[in-house]
Structure 1
């Protein structure tokens, strides 16, 4: 899903999908199964800054790093990302409290954006709690 990010925000457009993780190529390497509900809304704030409000939620299955068995995991991502035209603008926006900025060009792939934010939200090592691995001897 490619959009003009500047027009997307100025016009207050939105994109929503409820998809199996198989619809997200990079996420299929992390999750064995699951469904994600994604919403991206373009906005203009009081200062005239353009931003994307991104929310992703869902239940997925990840491989446990301890036993390699399947483990349920809840995804909850909520981010506001301000659009920057260049590095200087990105630094200025990142300096604002509770602000994250991305450098945007003429087009932005919303699937890639969702994948990036979900991957950044994952813990480094996903494991069942101590004593909960279903595979004997994996403790």
Structure 2
């Protein structure tokens, strides 16, 4: 079996989250962003893998946690000039691993609950995809000065056809005269 360095490692898709908490597992690995369907649909292009630095652990109050960060780069449409803009996306998170809604309600507010299945399994890719989606800007734009946005002229352009167009209220004026 060929060993891979940590930077080249692919993040496992499904994991036994409860077991990983028990052994305080850490990952420094990537997900091929093009395989994340919801992310691909939300942006024009995924141009970098989603790099994840995460750790499974317990806090002092014995809550099971998934903590860390993820980052990537995506291409979105600039809301100013409608051109493509590459956006760096970063997210830091503290997630509480729970089995049900009752456990979620008992989590301190600083933790966002993430539900594992009855066997403690977690779709890690889906969780990381959620974090990236939540970090996407609502109104992506180029940095100030880089945008291709053209300011309209001070006076709107008029054409001869504007002058010749009939006024729809002329009909009402004629009726009123009768």
TM tier relative to shorter chain: 0.7 to 0.9
Q: Deviations over 1:38-63 (max 9, x none)?
A: 12211012222110013112333222
1:88 equivalent in structure 2: 102
Q: Which residue of 2 aligns with 1:32?
A: 45
Q: Distance in 2 between matches of 1:136 and 1:21?
A: 33
Alignment TM-score, normalising by the size of structure 2: 0.66
Going by fraction, where is helix more abundant, 1 or 2? 2
Query: How many residues were matched structurally?
Result: 136
Structure 1, unmatched stretches of 5+, are: none
Q: Secondary structure of the equivalent of 1:117? A: helix
Q: CA 1:37/1:84 → structure 2, altered by over 3 Å: closer, same or farther?
A: same
**Which residue does 2:124 correspond to in 1?**
110
Which is strand-richer, 1 or 2? 1
1:21–1:31 Cα contact (<8 Å) kept: no
* Partner residue of 1:18 out of 26, 30, 34: 30
Aligned-pair CA distance for 1:133: 2.9
The change in CA–CA distance for 1:127 and 1:15 in structure 2 (over 3 A counts) is same
Question: Which entry has the higher C-alpha Rg, 1 or 2?
Answer: 2
Deviation string, structure 1 residues 57-114 (Cα, Å, up to 9, x no partner): 2333222234332112121111010111211210120xx2522222221321111111
Structure 2: gaps (5+ residues): 1-12, 153-178
Cα distance in 1 for residues equivalent to 2:109 and 2:44? 33
Give the 3-state SS of the residue equivalent to 1:26 in structure 2: helix
Output one character per residue of 1:4-26: Cα deviation in whole Å (capped at 9) or x when no partner.
Answer: 11112112123332355213222
Give the TM-score of the pair, scaled to structure 1: 0.81
RMSD value, Cα = 2.3
Matches within 5 A, 1:1-139: 1-29=13-41, 30-35=43-48, 36-93=50-107, 96-105=108-117, 106=119, 107-128=121-142, 132-134=146-148, 136=150
